[in-house]
């Protein structure tokens, strides 16, 4: 049999069942998904010698995800990243979203999709094996209008690709910006810094941020800056440069522009390479931006899988999404979802090896 999926009981919360699903293919690749936060809990992929390692940060049990403050492995929504001020106008009506102390909405609010229990079911077909997860966000949750039904489908195929497909519908005009917030370390989740990883972003522009780490509205060329990854470069090569944007964010915590409009077309957004294992992660997406976050707020107090510590910059996030603060920036791709329309988004995490990079 090419593919296999198993469902394991992982706990209970608020009288609801929490499951951990294991997806596997013929190549030995295994991915674990939980319906708490729709999180990727682990991903075992081979190196150049065929040795498997778990390359995503995560927790051994449900309590770890309940306590987590770093969105590790989870789906972030309704609105990933930041909205300045927290007040948004939709169809002429003002809505106050929940905000953090800095005065901005962040990653879906006080209790975002990363802390929700999703309805789940597994599937197997000729092209792969996977899990479908659904969550109904009620009208007014975290200040957003409309009952929003969100579905995320994870599929593992024989090409060692993990496909992440989002769909969402609403009964009132609302805002949506979803992302998968996995922290990757291609040397293994417990192998320390990601600064030696090499990163390629075939992208020529990025979004500078202000002191709230909200985009200023400018779309700036990367040429001549530490944000130029149009050729493979070590993540840590310029991360400590005396650059106001890097100092402000304690490293990379910025969005790069893939395209000006959201469409169904998949484009290469990023390539990540780990020199010792020769593992490669290619990221393709239909989203108009990718947000790179270098684990700048991780620290040694985080106890991950098998008692591992996840220190400063021990994981890198490759978050495909719309532009942050889009509701306040009319020239950014719209994040408005209207009744009768379906939001759709696709991202592919493709694992492989390369001996020549």
Catalogue the active-site residues: 181, 319
List C-alpha distances in Å: 163 to 12, 131, 338, 350: 27, 11, 26, 8
Residue 312 burial by CB count (10 A; 0-12/13-18/19+): exposed, middle or buried? middle
In a 3-state reduction of DSSP, which class is residue 86? Answer: coil
d(CA 177, CA 327): 11
Strand ranges of the sheet holding 39-46, from the earlier edge strand across to the other edge: 4-13, 16-24, 30-34, 39-46, 52-54
* E strand or H helix at 164: strand 161-170
- Tell me if the bond preceding 78 is cis, omega within 30° of 0: yes
Asked whether 278 and 47 are in contact (CB, 8 A), the reply is yes
Diameter of the chain by CA atoms? 59
- The residue with tokens 């809505």 is 95
Burial profile 198-220: b = 16 or more Cβ within 10 angstroms, e = fewer: bbbbebebbbbbeebbbbebebb
């Amino acid at each position: 049999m090419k593919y296999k999926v198993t469902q394991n009981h992982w706990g209970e919360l608020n009288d609801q069942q929490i499951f951990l699903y294991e997806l596997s293919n013929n190549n030995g690749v295994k991915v674990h998904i939980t319906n708490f936060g729709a999180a990727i809990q682990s991903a075992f992929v081979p190196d150049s010698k065929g040795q498997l390692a778990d390359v995503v940060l995560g927790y051994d049990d449900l309590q770890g995800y309940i306590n987590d403050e770093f969105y590790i492995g989870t789906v972030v929504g309704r609105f990933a990243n930041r909205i300045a001020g927290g007040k948004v106008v939709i169809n002429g009506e003002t809505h106050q979203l929940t905000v953090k102390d800095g005065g901005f909405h962040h990653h879906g609010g006080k209790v975002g999709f990363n802390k929700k229990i999703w309805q789940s079911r597994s599937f197997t077909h000729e092209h792969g094996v996977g899990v479908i997860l659904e969550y109904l966000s009620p009208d007014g949750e975290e200040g957003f209008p409309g009952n929003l039904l969100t579905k995320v489908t994870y599929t593992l195929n024989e090409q060692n690709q993990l496909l992440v497909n989002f769909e969402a519908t609403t009964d009132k005009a609302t805002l949506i910006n979803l992302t998968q917030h996995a922290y990757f370390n291609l040397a293994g989740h417990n192998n320390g810094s990601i600064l030696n990883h090499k990163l390629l972003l075939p992208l020529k522009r990025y979004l500078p941020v202000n002191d709230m780490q909200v985009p200023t509205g400018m779309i700036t060329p990367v040429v001549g800056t530490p944000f130029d990854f149009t050729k493979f470069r070590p993540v840590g090569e310029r991360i400590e440069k005396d650059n106001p944007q890097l100092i402000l964010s304690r490293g990379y915590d910025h969005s790069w522009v893939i395209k000006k409009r959201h469409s169904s077309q998949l484009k290469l957004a990023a390539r990540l390479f780990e020199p010792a294992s020769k593992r490669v992660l290619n990221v393709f997406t239909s989203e108009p931006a990718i947000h790179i976050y270098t684990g700048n707020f991780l620290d040694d107090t985080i106890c991950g899988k098998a008692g591992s510590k996840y220190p400063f910059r021990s994981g890198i996030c490759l978050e495909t999404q719309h532009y942050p603060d889009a509701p306040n920036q009319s020239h950014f791709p719209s994040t408005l979802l209207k009744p009768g329309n379906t939001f759709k988004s696709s991202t592919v995490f493709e694992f492989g090896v390369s001996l020549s990079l």
